Amino acid sequence: MNDLLFELPLPEFFDFGVCLEYLNRSPLECLYRMDQEGVTRYFNLDNQPLLIRLTVPGENRMHVTLLHGDIPDPGAAEWLARYIREWFDLDRDLAPFYHLAQADPLLAPLAEQHRGLRIVGIPDLFEALCWAILGQQVNLAFAYRLKQQLTAAYGGSLEWEGDVYYAFPGPEVFADVQLEELCALQLSRSKARTVLDVAALIASGGLSREALLALPSPDAAEQRLLQIRGIGPWTSQYVRMRCLDDTTAFPVGDVGLQNAVKFLTGMDRKPTPAELLKLAEPWRGWEAYATFYLWRALY
């Protein structure tokens, strides 16, 4: 089966190849498979396993092809289209960011080199929170390994043409999971506890992406996240950036951001949070995009 489900119009300043380079940054990524032409990902919609492939054969249309499964209803196709638009931030006008970056000595070369790169989002709040929690105070490779182990243990999977595709587990899966089970996957006790707390909160309806987006401001959403034990400023800023579509998010405590600025400016030490805030004054409104492009200087 190779049925074209639908096409998505692509905005100005979108380069699928550059976004694929970002997606391909770790061989340990377990939630999609990459090649030079596109990305293949498994979804489970209403208990229907779907294997989807995204390609951009022309200049301004993304093709969404169904490799395996059946779309259960038109609502599922609408959900999938919305998810993909949010995954690649397709509804955002990047012209103001590029105008700003062009005048900035730090961002101008990155914006030119990676023109068309969009913030690759994590539209699912539980997945975004888990990814941020797993990444707390560890290197990127180990965070990927933790995600791989958590997904293999509790996520859904589909075998197709000799490859296994995984979907990140939903929060309801963790209702009866014990702390020790997650610790056996190499999660620290504090991370395991936070994952279980977040899972219970989201599964019960006490926390949702929709409710966070309905709050008066991104700062209000952050304050809600900070009420959760184990969620600190870095985690909440990261979720604002990757899940809540907040271009003003600025994770000043992020080691990767600090290392990128140190490398690009030739500093003999990592910048302090106060120095980063000062540096970011010309980026106002686009701090998240500046961060995303600065990260690209590291790989």
Q: How many CB atoms lie within 10 A of CB 65?
A: 17
Tally of domains within the chain: 3
Q: What residues are annotated to the active site?
A: 254
N-to-C CA span, the chain? 36
Q: What is the spatial distance between Cα 184 and Cα 87, in angstroms, rounded to a whole number?
A: 31
CATH of the domain at 43: 3.30.310.20
Percent of the chain with pLDDT over 90: 91
Residues 182 and 227 in one domain: yes
Residues 144 and 215 in one domain: yes
Q: Please tell me the predicted confidence (pLDDT) of residue 271.
A: 95
Residue type, 50: L
pLDDT at 14 over 70: yes
Q: Are the C-beta atoms of residues 52 and 43 closer than 8 Å to each other?
A: yes
Residues 75 and 99 in one domain: no
Residues 63 and 112 in one domain: no
* pLDDT tens, residue by residue, 228-266: 999 999 999 999 999 999 999 999 999 999 999 999 999
Tokens of 277: 């805030």
Q: Please tell me the predicted confidence (pLDDT) of residue 47.
A: 85
Q: Please tell me the predicted confidence (pLDDT) of residue 74.
A: 85
Residues 251 and 265 in one domain: yes
Q: Please tell me the predicted confidence (pLDDT) of residue 1.
A: 61
pLDDT at 50 over 90: yes
* pLDDT tens, residue by residue, 57-80: 987 999 999 999 998 888 899 999
Residues 79 and 14 in one domain: yes
pLDDT at 285 over 90: yes
Residues 179 and 32 in one domain: no
Residues spanned by the domain of 33: 3-91
Residues 237 and 283 in one domain: no
Query: How confident is the prediction for the chain on average, in pLDDT?
Result: 95
CA-angle at 149, arms to 146 and 150, nearest 5°: 85
* pLDDT tens, residue by residue, 147-200: 999 999 999 999 999 999 999 999 999 999 999 999 999 999 999 999 999 999
Q: Please tell me the predicted confidence (pLDDT) of residue 72.
A: 80
Residues 220 and 279 in one domain: no
Q: Please tell me the predicted confidence (pLDDT) of residue 73.
A: 85
3-state DSSP assignment of residue 62: strand
